[in-house]
Amino acid sequence: MTALLHRWRNDPGATYRTWFLWEERVKNFRSIRRGIQQVVADIKAGTFGVAYRGSSLETVVHSIAEQRQIFKGADHAFLWKPKLRIPDIYESPENQRAFGRLLDACVCCTTEQQVIAAIREIDAKAIKGLGPAAANLLYFLHPTIVPPFNTAIVNGYNALTGAKVKLGRWDEYLAMRQGILALNAAHRGLLSNDLGAIGGLLFDLGSGRYPAPPREDDAAARVAWEADLARVRDEGAKAAKALAEAQESDHTHTEVQGWLRDLGLSLGYHVWMAANDRSRPLHGGKLGDGCLAILPGFDTGAGVDAVRLIDVLWLDKDSKRIVAAYEVEHTTSIYSGIVRMLDLALGPEAHALEGMFLVAPDGREGEVREQLARPAFSRIADLKVRYLPYGELKANRETIARFGHGMKPIQAISRALV
């Protein structure tokens, strides 16, 4: 097992590097939590509706499904299957409210016992089609308590332990969870308190990327397994290429943040870079070079963490108020950036804001508009968020830096979204 973990952690194509250590993963926790809270609010208000498509649930599950390969297809369990009448949280108001109570309880609770009690309560309802796939929502609320769940993870667990966990039952999931916790505790030094790490390992085992180690003390089986591990390592060239492409995406994201940093400084603003991005290398220095080390007025309070993770903020030097907010969405979910800016727009800084911008590749404009058309973003018109294409920013940034003043030039090259 130790040999497997070392190989897995060092594999550029394994989920440990491509997803678990992915910086955007951490930024998405708050936005997904906020989305779950919106689902709860809609169910309580009776406005959730009778269909998955167009609901706030679709929005948040879509954001989870974009979390790289491990969560691809996460929305399948929530799609309404009319012939089977599942999952029965759309046509049954009682079941819908029970689902809302599960999410609400897990949003509010803090202990393992409370989370498990909420799961057992929903299990007792025997809601047709609403199985442990919902654990993927709960993982983003309690990553140290609830492991992620899908077919590959179950297959990986069964291959590793010899268990016969079946899909679709909460009791089977809870039994698997106990086994996962035991495995995680036994190998904590190579895994993490965050159960996403061991979830990623099981996913890679279950999807066939890695063979599971022999469970018996069989020398021949051990030799064959070591050979299989070597084969996986030799196949790493393809994985390395995929990781390089992902890193290039991250590099482009950082490059655009750098454009906004330099432009803001040229126009005479203080600049704040996202707290988890400021140490990224850029042009021989760091992305946070020349930027604020502390975000004034955001030491404590609701939404502070989300605002500190907004990609770029420009602040007025005299008043220290935030003037403009920028979320760079190179390939990641538009949803996450909107939620972070929503926390800013609903806070005490809102009156000083002159612009909120989604900065994305020119080809993503249609996707941005499509996302903002979702009912979950119905309040977006009040925020006056604008779309700033890479092409316009790249073509005009030097001229604006030399001759521009204030926010007017940025407003001119950006586009209204609603």
The reported pLDDT for the residue numbered 93 is: 94
The reported pLDDT for the residue numbered 384 is: 76
Average pLDDT over residues 239-266: 73
> Tens digit of pLDDT for each residue in 146-199?
999 999 999 999 999 888 888 889 999 999 999 999 999 999 999 999 999 999
State pTM to two decimals.
0.71
The reported pLDDT for the residue numbered 27 is: 77
The reported pLDDT for the residue numbered 94 is: 95
DSSP conformation letters of 72-103:
TTTTGGGS-BTTTTBSTTSS-HHHHHHHHHHH
- Secondary structure of 97-163 in HEC code, one letter for each residue: HHHHHHHHHHHHCCCHHHHHHHHHHHHHHCCCCCCHHHHHHHHCCCCCCCCCCCHHHHHHHHHHHCC
Calculate the average pLDDT of the chain: 85
> Tens digit of pLDDT for each residue in 262-315?
999 999 999 999 988 898 888 889 999 999 999 987 766 556 777 888 999 999
The answer to whether residue 340 scores a pLDDT higher than 60 is yes
Residue 165 Cα distances to 75, 124, 174, 199, angstroms: 21, 19, 10, 15
CA 21 to chain centre: 12
CA 249 to chain centre: 16
> b or e along 87-98 (b: 16 or more beta carbons within 10 Å of the residue's beta carbon)?
bbbbebeebbbb
> Tens digit of pLDDT for each residue in 128-152?
999 999 999 999 999 999 999 999 9
* β-pair partners for 282: 285
Average pLDDT over residues 47-71: 86
The reported pLDDT for the residue numbered 25 is: 83
The reported pLDDT for the residue numbered 129 is: 92
- Check if the beta carbon of residue 368 is closer than 8 Å to that of residue 387: yes
Question: Measured between alpha carbons, how far is 281 from 284 in angstroms, rounded to an integer?
Answer: 7
The answer to whether residue 360 scores a pLDDT higher than 60 is yes
169 residue type, one letter:
R
